[in-house]
Structure 1
Amino acid sequence: MDVAATFSTGAELFAGLITISGIAYNALALLGARAFVRDTRTARKAAPFLPSVSILKPVKGIDPRMYAGFVSHCQQQYGGEFEIVFGVSSLDDPAVAEIVRLREEFPNVAIQLIECAQRMGTSGKVSNLIQMLPAAQFEHIVVNDGDILVGPQYLTEIMRPFADAKVGLVTAPYIGLSTRTTWSKLEALGISTDFMPGVLTARKLEGSIRFGLGSTLATTKTALATIGGFESLVDQLADDYELGARLAAQGYRVELAPEVVETDVPAYTLRGYLDHQLRWARSTRDSRRAGYIGLGITYVLPWAVLAVVASGAALWSIALLSFALFVRVTVALTIGVGLLKDVQVIRDLWLLPLRDFSGLFIWGWSYSSDVIVWRGEKFRLHQGKLERVAEEAK
């Protein structure tokens, strides 16, 4: 057998095995979704736990759906007491006018506005949280971004797991809302059909999750103090991941609540999409190095296409591609639409192959460097921390 034939056979075998592994991963994601639904039904049989809650919302600037998100927090059907603490770096921030408007519209909701004038580390968000926390009246705190939109039972569902004193963090699934550019649609599709299935798979394999999602980070002041407070996270890029990982290391459980929240996906250009996806990918790679290596097999469609090409369109490879597509679509519809209620998945289902190909490309590219672009600035990611990259002399 000549070298070319040997290489072709090797590529055929490799692509076929990776495709089968990807199919197995997708099947595991479906089992993870089933386990999550079952556990949710069991948890909801217990009486709700209704402690007083401080919602901390660091904000900067105005996002398209931001005010609607603010309103959704004020309209909670919650049996306990709650307050909302907003934090801005400057009282000149345009978001301040929206917070004033919110106070006028909801005079019965306790709303605080804190000016966080100090920059205490690389992360402006965490820097604000450090300065906001002393103003929070209550032991239980919930942190989420300014553009997060929630349902009326949000606090009820997020607080429910805290009935168990071993729970140190509760986080929530989310979907991205996008009706604009193709690139923003690709990111939103990825959240519902790649990222959240990955979270459910991790939960299935590990018995729980050991990280947080930025859509919701609910904890207690007591638990937070065991890891050194927000101060310990101020130079971390993936502060949400690190919060969950560090609390888990302290012996606390991290729970995924069944309450799905919504966030806004910007109208990305191709460049913006690649910058954001690379930042996300390199952050994940830095946080979960071993698990991230296996992420490449989850993009099953490119591997199935490679098997078809390498085998010269052999019948078995075409059958494998068909089955891979069937499983991939099943995961997208079952988790994206059925579990997360993201109807955009149906609209954008035709983009699924492009999402898989771009995801695999970004996964590979993420290993080429430690540099990320964040808010227009370049940083080098080192053990979760951000180090500013000096501009090259012209």
Structure 2
Amino acid sequence: MMPMVYTVYGFAIFFMIAWVCLWLIHIMAFSYSKWKLHRTVDRSPPEQAYPGVSILKPLTGVDPNLLSNLETFFSLDYPTYEILFCVEHEKDPAVMLVKHSLLPKYPNVDARLFIGGIRVGVNPKINNMHPAYMAAKYPLILVSDAGIRMREDSLLDMVQHMREDVAIVHQMPFVCDAEGFAAVYEKVYFGTAQARMYLGADFLGINCHVGMSSLVRRCALEEAGGLAAFADYLAEDFFMAKEVLARGWKMRVASLPALQNSGSRSVGALQARLKRWARLRIAMVPTTALLEPLSECLPLGAGAAWAAGQLFGAEPLPFFLVHVLVWFLSDWLILRSVQNGSPPFTKVQFLVGWAWSECCAPFVLAAALLNPEISWRTRCYRLDWGGRAHELKPSHTRKL
């Protein structure tokens, strides 16, 4: 009987410690967001000229927002930069958009188009960017996904964070304002759960690098083997940061978040992304499968409510309800901080989006565990433990 009692109390103590730690992360992330995000960018002339930046823009297909997103890169408030568009196939509609809608409209901006790519591994994004990377002429490389929309001062903000000992400056993922439930769900996720763990990890010095908008010092990347060294990983951003940090360089989060502005938002599309990211995390860090549920409001709250009853005689249901209420209010505060003001929807819409996001989170993780195959664009991959990827032939894939 005694071993069973010790086991029950052991689990209860574990859940209570996890609960306390997550609330410390809540406090840490919110406080850090108020200090870190949306600082005023210093526009005064620098003592030394800012280094040039080569912007790599990998493109695949077009959507209704692509043209306006790309145009924001032609009006950056930065003295010296080039834009290198990368398209894998000649017949991709993005080729015509760049050739006929962008390059003629902005003849005074240094911009080029690279078509074809070079296969250096299984990662299609790296294969697509590699010719442009080899042709880049500046010491700083900005890798920016097609769906990113830039403020005029975003690049200047990133470069100002690039100190002598820093090799990577990345923007925290967020989203532009948009209408519809999918947009609410997207903003709630990136402004609460994603922001909390991203800011907490950065504050604690944990590798949280997401490469959708990432400024890299080229010499540091070359020390790690160059862009091609990470072509066998789908999570090239994580492993790039890992190798660069291992060589003594530092990494910083910029003040301004990365503004994703997809032209085709849907609940299904966002959940497909979340499943893909969960599969990547599980392959890279297998303990994710055990620890990630404890970062979610509902599983953690249920475990902590049971633990409080075992350890302190507390009523589990009131404990759980108070936990959910305070978590909800905490998420509202951090969303306002990341948004730098009120979000573009009502508190009722936030409640619905938040409840949907929290209820779906355990099922997204379960789906990622049950099917380890990763669907990306028109390709499908399977990951080894450690993150190395293998592309699957069409006959070996199945619908996710």
For structure 1, the residue ranges without an aligned partner over 5 or more in a row are none
2:237 maps to 1:235 = no
- Contact 2:177 2:183 (8 Å CA) reproduced: yes
Structure 1 equivalent of residue 217 of structure 2: 220
C-alpha distance in 2, partners of 1:304/1:90? 49
Structure 2 equivalent of residue 145 of structure 1: 145
- Note the 1:287-302 alignment, pairs <5 A: 287-290=284-287, 293-302=290-299
Report the Cα offset of residue 296 of structure 1.
Answer: 1.9
C-alpha distance in 2, partners of 1:280/1:45? 36
What is the letter of the counterpart of residue 197 of structure 1? R
Report the Cα offset of residue 11 of structure 1.
Answer: 8.8
Structure 1 equivalent of residue 129 of structure 2: 129
2:161 maps to 1:161 = yes
Report the Cα offset of residue 303 of structure 1.
Answer: 3.5
Structure 2 equivalent of residue 349 of structure 1: 351
2:361 maps to 1:362 = no
Between 281-290 and 178-187, the greater mean CA deviation after superposition:
178-187
The count of aligned residue pairs is 384
Structure 2 equivalent of residue 115 of structure 1: 115
CA offset digits 1:266-311 (Å, max 9, x no partner): 43354x4443222111212233445664332221234435666997
For structure 2, the residue ranges without an aligned partner over 5 or more in a row are none
Q: What's the TM-score once normalised by structure 2's chain length?
A: 0.82
C-alpha distance in 2, partners of 1:84/1:152? 15
Give the match's secondary structure for 1:98. helix
1:28–1:289: structure 2 CA closer, same or farther, 3 Å change rule? farther
Structure 2 equivalent of residue 65 of structure 1: 65
CA offset digits 1:122-167 (Å, max 9, x no partner): 22211122111122221111110112101010111011122x2211
Give the root-mean-square deviation of aligned CA atoms.
3.5
Structure 2 equivalent of residue 97 of structure 1: 96
C-alpha distance in 2, partners of 1:120/1:37? 37
Structure 2 equivalent of residue 387 of structure 1: 390
What is the letter of the counterpart of residue 267 of structure 1? R
C-alpha distance in 2, partners of 1:230/1:360? 34
Structure 2 equivalent of residue 267 of structure 1: 265
Report the Cα offset of residue 251 of structure 1.
Answer: 1.1
C-alpha distance in 2, partners of 1:367/1:355? 18
- Contact 1:371 1:378 (8 Å CA) reproduced: yes
Equivalent of residue 279 in structure 2, options 282, 290, 294:
282
1:10–1:160: structure 2 CA closer, same or farther, 3 Å change rule? closer
Structure 2 equivalent of residue 333 of structure 1: 332
- Contact 2:118 2:130 (8 Å CA) reproduced: no
1:118–1:9: structure 2 CA closer, same or farther, 3 Å change rule? closer
C-alpha distance in 1, partners of 2:300/2:147? 36
Between 326-335 and 80-89, the greater mean CA deviation after superposition:
326-335
Report the Cα offset of residue 58 of structure 1.
Answer: 1.1
C-alpha distance in 2, partners of 1:200/1:258? 11
What is the letter of the counterpart of residue 381 of structure 2? F
